[in-house]
Chains A and B, each alone.
Chain A
Amino acid sequence: MENIIECRNLTHYYGKRLIYDNLSFGVPRGRILGLLGKNGTGKTTTINILSGFLQPRSGECYILGEKIGNMNPLTRRKIGLLIEGHVQYQFMNIEQIERFYASFYPNWKREAYYELMSRLKVAPHQRINRMSCGQRSQVALGLILAQDPEVLVLDDFSLGLDPGYRRLFVDYMREYAKAEDKTVFLTSHIIQDMERLVDDCIVMDYGKILVQMPVNELLGKFRRYTAQVSEGFQLQNTDGIYNPSVIRQSMELFSMLPEAEVSARLSLQGVADVKVENVGLEDAFIGLTGKY
């Protein structure tokens, strides 16, 4: 399968602080990939590198086969970019901004934009800086739909949106990307939104990738184990175990290992009555990265 987005051996530091070392990943055509990570793990850094607003220390990124640093400007017609906070030119109104962008894109889909705008309760001459964040997100989405790019890069699309708008955005985007075979790379700090939207996920921890796989596969394999133990219990042999913790007499741990293997390992250490459950993406994320 051809990778529409391809990053190889990315290394980046802010000053002396390592963000990540030798990070590589790819997004195949038609897939929606979500980048998950706690604050400061380099989500925005990655988006900035992908959208050409940050020069990594080393490593290379390609979109549609072109290296990002010296991409043909016209290739950017095929890349839709959503900036964190749904930023758009604040000084324009919805008509002006449509007219502005239309002249840059030969395949501009004016109707797609106005169809979305017609559902917004805004006056045609209302400037974007007078709109709510939710309304702004619809304008930004409408512009991306009208641009009709092959690749979409969305930076924290849920920032500032109330649940209704978030759901609207997610559903719209999912339906659009699937129907038109678009490739999407996105980040969000609200994990529940991702669960409805993304095909694959990358979970990042400080300096490294913890997991990179399809969401279905992750949710199928990843389980939470809880049991009662005596106070002061310390788990041995933690290979393949994520974030084991004991609070008073309750033990909690996560693992992607087959259920039988984990249960066997626990009973060897004298832990009985182990409860096993599959979890949602948010719990899986916490299980993978820890609460701290």
Chain B
Amino acid sequence: MIKAIFYKEWIKTRWYILLALLVSLGFSAYAMLRISRVCSLKGAEHLWVVMMQRDAIFVELLQYVPLILGLVFALVQFVPEIHHRSFKLTLHLPMRATSALASMLSFGMLMMVLVCVPALMLMWAYLQSVLAPELYWHVLLSALPWYLAGMAAYLLTVWVALEPTWGRRLLNVVLGVLLLRIYFLAPAPEAYNDFLPLLAIITLCYSILSVLSLTRFRDGRQD
């Protein structure tokens, strides 16, 4: 049954997943291209020195890419379910509603990983050819909270999308925006290193919020 849910989610989102993968890889490739241009114009030394002296990480343009990809992914996956309230069909399937939702969220998270990891791998592969480990880990660890933000944006958007009433949905949007701010507070690169494991756990916990929306949907809450 979980396989069938995955099949449904795949049909719904496959073109978006392809697009998201291209966008994610495209942005990373563009960031790497810019770095390689710095290297060819001013030499790798310049790159190193700027990173060591000025806290530069050269990939700032990737900051909001995972966030937007996650947010849109949740919409692509769940708007067809809310449209005409066809989520009722999913809830009527002969499986526990929470299992159905968990399968849908697992699919989403899995696909987000599928979209994000190649981008990180691409950066890792290129950066390690021109930078010392200290420097490329500096870049990757600084970018990691942005990718977690992508996951959080996905889970929080699902929570908002499934919520049946507009009043509560608005509250959820406000809370969601505040929660997403937490991923973009870095005063310096690698500022999240100690917090990352806890932040990852908190991020996963956001998935439980969707159960609240699901229950409210099933109880027929209305404005």
A104 interface residue per 8 A CB criterion:
yes
A54 interface residue per 8 A CB criterion:
yes
Chain B residues near A99 (CB, 8 Å)? 7
B218→A92 contact, CB < 8 A: no
B42 interface residue per 8 A CB criterion:
no
A74-B92 in contact given A54-B220, A83-B86 (Cβ < 8 Å): no
B11 interface residue per 8 A CB criterion:
yes
Inter-chain CA distance A51–B85, complex, in Å, is: 13
Instruction: Give A77-99 as 1s and 0s: 1 = Cβ < 8 Å from B's Cβ atoms.
Output: 10101010101111110001001
In residues 168-223 of chain B, which contact A (Cβ within 8 Å)?
217-220, 222
A244 to chain B, nearest CB (A): 37
A148 to chain B, nearest CB (A): 13
Chain B residues near A14 (CB, 8 Å)? 222
Inter-chain CA distance A73–B89, complex, in Å, is: 13
Inter-chain CA distance A171–B113, complex, in Å, is: 50
Inter-chain CA distance A100–B220, complex, in Å, is: 26
B114 to chain A, nearest CB (A): 20
A76→B92 contact, CB < 8 A: yes
B3 interface residue per 8 A CB criterion:
yes
B66 to chain A, nearest CB (A): 24
Chain B residues near A230 (CB, 8 Å)? none
A81→B95 contact, CB < 8 A: no
Chain A residues near B220 (CB, 8 Å)? 48, 53-55
Of B3, B80, B84, B95, the contact of A73 (CB 8 Å cutoff): B95
Chain B residues near A118 (CB, 8 Å)? none
Inter-chain CA distance A46–B41, complex, in Å, is: 72
A88→B1 contact, CB < 8 A: no
In residues 46-70 of chain A, which contact B (Cβ within 8 Å)?
48, 51-55
Instruction: Give B64-89 as 1s and 0s: 1 = Cβ < 8 Å from A's Cβ atoms.
Output: 00000000000000001001111011
A42 to chain B, nearest CB (A): 13
A103→B11 contact, CB < 8 A: no
A165 interface residue per 8 A CB criterion:
no
Chain B residues near A225 (CB, 8 Å)? none
A292 to chain B, nearest CB (A): 26
A51 to chain B, nearest CB (A): 7
- Interface residue SS majority, chain A: loop
Which B residue's beta carbon lies closest to that of A52?
A: B218
Of A51, A73, A91, A104, the contact of B12 (CB 8 Å cutoff): A91
A90-B8 in contact given A52-B91, A73-B96 (Cβ < 8 Å): no
Chain A residues near B11 (CB, 8 Å)? 91-92, 96, 100
Inter-chain CA distance A111–B97, complex, in Å, is: 29
B167 interface residue per 8 A CB criterion:
no
Chain A residues near B97 (CB, 8 Å)? 73
B61 interface residue per 8 A CB criterion:
no
A87→B89 contact, CB < 8 A: yes
A14, A54, A73, A81: residue with the most chain B Cβ atoms closer than 10 Å = A73
Inter-chain CA distance A105–B11, complex, in Å, is: 20
B89→A89 contact, CB < 8 A: yes
B92→A81 contact, CB < 8 A: yes
Which A residue's beta carbon lies closest to that of B12?
A: A91
B86→A51 contact, CB < 8 A: no
A89-B8 in contact given A54-B220, A103-B1 (Cβ < 8 Å): yes
A168 to chain B, nearest CB (A): 22
A150 to chain B, nearest CB (A): 13
A64 to chain B, nearest CB (A): 13
B4, B7, B84, B220: residue with the most chain A Cβ atoms closer than 10 Å = B220
B8, B83, B217: residue with the most chain A Cβ atoms closer than 10 Å = B8
Chain A residues near B96 (CB, 8 Å)? 73
Chain B residues engaging chain A, CB cutoff 8 angstroms = 1, 3-4, 7-8, 11-12, 80, 83-86, 88-89, 91-97, 217-220, 222
Selected A-B contacts with CB under 8 Å, 8 pairs: A53-B88, A55-B220, A74-B94, A79-B92, A81-B92, A83-B85, A87-B85, A90-B80
Nearest 9 A/B pairs, CB to CB: A54-B220, A103-B4, A55-B219, A77-B94, A76-B94, A87-B84, A81-B92, A87-B86, A91-B12
